Chains A and B, each alone.
Chain A
Amino acid sequence: MSPITLTPPLSENDVRRLRAGDVVAITGRIVTARDRAHARIVSGKRPPLDLEGGIVYHCGPLAKRIREGWRIVSAGPTTSARMERLQAEFVRRTGIRAIVGKGGLGEAAGAVARLGCVYLTFPGGAGALAAESVERVERVYWMDLGEPEAMWVLRVKNFGPLLVAIDTAGNNMYERRVRC
């Protein structure tokens, strides 16, 4: 399967045509955000950059300082469920069109889908592989939150293959058929 290329900023149309099970790859700019960046934005603080149509990556990268800035060593997705409580409001405030994470959005999945934002996933733990597609670190905002929690602006090339796990129609690959 050859992946569909996504190049942010994305329009509502770009993401509405994606279906759960599709395979995509990102080329362009993505921005990381975890627990604390979500909390800060939802509490009313303006995002440090325009995120309209953007792609947010649930990730706390492992980076090494180099002379010119940073080199990304390992950068797989973190557990999205920790942001579940804040996710829909975060999407509403920022206007992002796609989230990359792992494990799904739990209860927030429906609300995020209705806002016209897709959920893409890469295997958790696959940080070394994900880092291969990071061309450079453009900027780091909110370093006061600590390295993993800061907002890293990453320039990626063919980041993927990513699976569309929750689409804007609400199809959700994390809904299990078997219950305990």
Chain B
Amino acid sequence: MLDEDGFVAAVVEMIRRAETCLPKDVVRALKKMEKTEGSRTAKFQYSLMLKNLRVARRRGYPICQDTGTLTFFVRMGRKLRLDFNLYEALRRAVSIATTEVPLRINVVDPIHRTPMKTNTGAGQPAVHCEMVGGEELTIDLLVRGSGAENCGKFSMLTPTEGLEGIERMVLETIAQAGGKPCPPTIVGVGIGGFMETACIMAKHALTRPLGTLNPDPELRRLERKIELAANGLDIGPMGLGGATTVLGVHIEKAACHTASLPVAVALQCWAARRARAVLKGGSLRLVEP
């Protein structure tokens, strides 16, 4: 059985890795974008971004000073037995990582703005659990800086607005965000479900590696269409103009009420920090990055 201290230590390590190096697919995409760009300013921005990644990795320092707020997606097999509180253990890991990695003290009371020294509090970190069969345990971590988080949008479209309306809403979100979310961004979109599930799907879509195909052919076409249109907006890296505004568009959908069409968009900055760990041979192992 998985022991609590081992689990907490593995999650602390997962946070450290996520904060200090990017997944291979993201690095590959950034290098590709640098080559694609024709503008001198855009190429200049990419060269600094890539240099920054080398410095962060070499020194073991966080890539960005905004070490973000953390979201964990947990897939847990129904046969798995834990003799500890998973939520408590994740909170403890965040608290330890705050001093050890270190993480910036980002979490505050929403009204009084008083800092919470451990980066934990009501609802922090966010933990979304999904129960599955077997003995599986998979944890996906997303690190979200506020530049990207602040540019997210949720909208209740009317059902007749359909695919066209969804496409327009996503593109408007990207256009209005401009350089603020640190483009090129990964665009996560949640279509359908409820108000809250559309937002969670938009975030979950960001855990999918770049370059992997959406299993749904219709969503795949929509992803491609939005990606092409977004890259024609001339926002470019850091909003300074260019032909690369998004690294990819990832869409998830869920069934919804006949009278509703909820759509959520979550943008993820170019420093698209994420990690994945799985339970293997009784301990939690990091698989990415």
The chain A residues found within 8 Å of chain B, CB to CB, are 21, 23, 36, 59-62, 64, 73-76, 78-79, 81-82, 102-104, 121-132, 146-148, 161, 163, 165, 173-174, 176-180
For residue B44, give the distance in angstroms from its CB to the closest CB of chain A: 7
B52 & A176 in contact (Cβ 8 Å cutoff): no
Main secondary structure of the interface of A (DSSP, over half): loop
A60 & B65 in contact (Cβ 8 Å cutoff): yes
Residues of B within 8 A of A146 (CB): 105, 108, 113-115
Q: Nearest residue in A to B53 (C-beta to C-beta)?
A: A128
A131 & B61 in contact (Cβ 8 Å cutoff): yes
Residues of B within 8 A of A82 (CB): 150
Q: Nearest residue in B to A77 (C-beta to C-beta)?
A: B65
For residue A178, give the distance in angstroms from its CB to the closest CB of chain B: 4
Option from A127, A165, A173, A180 in Cβ contact (under 8 Å) with B62: A127
A74 & B61 in contact (Cβ 8 Å cutoff): yes
Main secondary structure of the interface of B (DSSP, over half): loop
Interface size class of B (residues with CB under 8 A): 35 or more
A74–B108 alpha-carbon span in the complex (Å): 20
List 15 extra interface pairs beyond A62-B103, A64-B102, A146-B108, CB under 8 A: A62-B65, A74-B65, A79-B150, A82-B150, A102-B147, A124-B64, A124-B182, A125-B271, A129-B52, A131-B65, A147-B104, A163-B44, A173-B41, A177-B241, A178-B232
Q: Given A62-B65, A104-B239: A123 and B45 within 8 A (CB)?
A: yes
Option from B174, B180, B237 in Cβ contact (under 8 Å) with A123: B237
Residues of A within 8 A of B192 (CB): none
A125 & B270 in contact (Cβ 8 Å cutoff): yes
- Interface flags, B49-82, vs A, CB<8A=1, else 0: 1011001100101111111000000000000000
Q: Nearest residue in A to B182 (C-beta to C-beta)?
A: A124
Residues of A within 8 A of B62 (CB): 62, 73-74, 127-128
Residues of A within 8 A of B67 (CB): 62, 74
The chain B residues found within 8 Å of chain A, CB to CB, are 41, 44-45, 48-49, 51-52, 55-56, 59, 61-67, 102-106, 108, 113-115, 145-147, 150, 171-172, 174-175, 178-180, 182, 232-235, 237-241, 269-271
A176–B49 alpha-carbon span in the complex (Å): 22
A-B contact pairs, 21 of them (CB 8 A): A36-B113, A73-B65, A73-B102, A78-B146, A79-B146, A102-B179, A103-B238, A104-B239, A123-B45, A125-B49, A126-B48, A127-B63, A128-B62, A129-B51, A147-B105, A148-B104, A163-B41, A163-B240, A174-B178, A174-B179, A177-B241
